[in-house]
Amino acid sequence: MNVLLINGSPHKEGCTYTALSEVAAQLEKRGVQSEILWIGNGPVRGCIDCKSCWGKGACVFNDDCVNQCIQKIIAADGLVVGSPVYFGGIAGGLKCVLDRVFYDAKRLFSYKPAAAVVSCRRGGAGNTFDALNKYFTISSMPVVSSQYWNGVHGDRPEEVRADKEGMQTLRLVADNMAWLLQCRQAAGLEPFEREVRVKTNFYKPEL
Ligand SMILES: Cc1cc2nc3c(=O)[nH]c(=O)nc-3n(C[C@H](O)[C@H](O)[C@H](O)COP(=O)(O)O)c2cc1C
């Protein structure tokens, strides 16, 4: 079993990385392998809604980490996405990545347990946490919870490490992720067959 942890900060080893490292260490204790994938700090396009990805599970743009993220999520058993809070929301680079990763490929991520982790200096963690969870709940990904909303406070890694409650919350989300993955493996259950998706765009169809 393996879990992919996406570090959506422009800092490779900043606060978000410190938070994700705590999750990774606890997963390892529970016998689950993991990998932290940094999205980098180079330019990332937003989604241009060209719909080229539809049915392909790949973005038409190949000059950043988006297609790598899609392939790695498909290969993983579980997913954790970490974001610093920027103006009360998801950091811009990560938002661009996630919109393009999930637009079509979300159908390939169904039933993979997922968790959001946020890192902020002071405020906006709740909004950011909710916004990240939207990607999972539109994708049939079971959301893994903890004893609080998964977040840490700090502007530097040493401040994050001093956030004892935040770090404990992250260890528990790792435990719950490992538990869910191991339950699923032990039960050997396959997902139910799905209905073809209905999509109506809220217009009134001609009857
Ligand atoms: C553009 C920008 C906007 C930010 N907005 C917020 C904010 O709304 N609330 C907050 O608490 N911290 C805010 N911060 C601080 C970061 O969220 C915080 O330092 C975070 O822990 C950094 O994580 P990192 O080291 O992984 O990049 C902002 C930082 C930047 C660069």
- Any idea which residue has 């790792």 for tokens? 174
Q: Is the pLDDT of residue 168 over 60?
A: yes
Q: Is the pLDDT of residue 204 over 70?
A: no
- Give me ligand 1 centre to Cα 153, in Å: 10
Whole-number average pLDDT of the chain: 96
Domains in the chain, CATH or no CATH each: 2-187 (3.40.50.360)
- Give me ligand 1 centre to Cα 68, in Å: 26
Residue from 95, 121, 159 whose mutation best tests the ligand 1 pocket (most atoms within 8 A of CB): 121
pLDDT tens profile 114-132: 999 999 999 999 999 999 9
Q: How far apart are CA 33 and CA 98, in angstroms?
A: 23
Kindly give, in sequence order, each residue whose CB lies less than 8 Å from that of residue 159, ignoring residues fewer than 6 positions away.
15, 153
Burial class (CB in 10 A: 0-12, 13-18, 19+), 150: buried
State the average pLDDT over residues 179-190. 94
pLDDT tens profile 72-97: 999 999 999 999 999 999 999 999 99
Position in ligand 1 atom list of the atom nearest CA 10: 27
pLDDT at residue 75, rounded to an integer: 98
Q: Is the pLDDT of residue 182 over 90?
A: yes
State the average pLDDT over residues 126-139. 98
pLDDT at residue 206, rounded to an integer: 65
pLDDT tens profile 14-23: 999 999 999 9
Residue closest to 90 by CA, chosen among 144, 151, 35, 33: 151
The model's pTM is: 0.97
Position in ligand 1 atom list of the atom nearest CA 17: 26
Per-residue pLDDT band for 205 (boundaries 50, 70, 90) equals low
Burial class (CB in 10 A: 0-12, 13-18, 19+), 75: exposed
- Give me ligand 1 centre to Cα 206, in Å: 49
Assess contact for 33 and 1: CB atoms under 8 A.
Answer: yes
Residue closest to 154 by CA, chosen among 144, 166, 145, 139: 166
Indicate if ligand 1 lies below 6 Å from the C-beta of 8. no
| Residue whose CA is at the smallest distance from ligand 1 atom 28 | 86
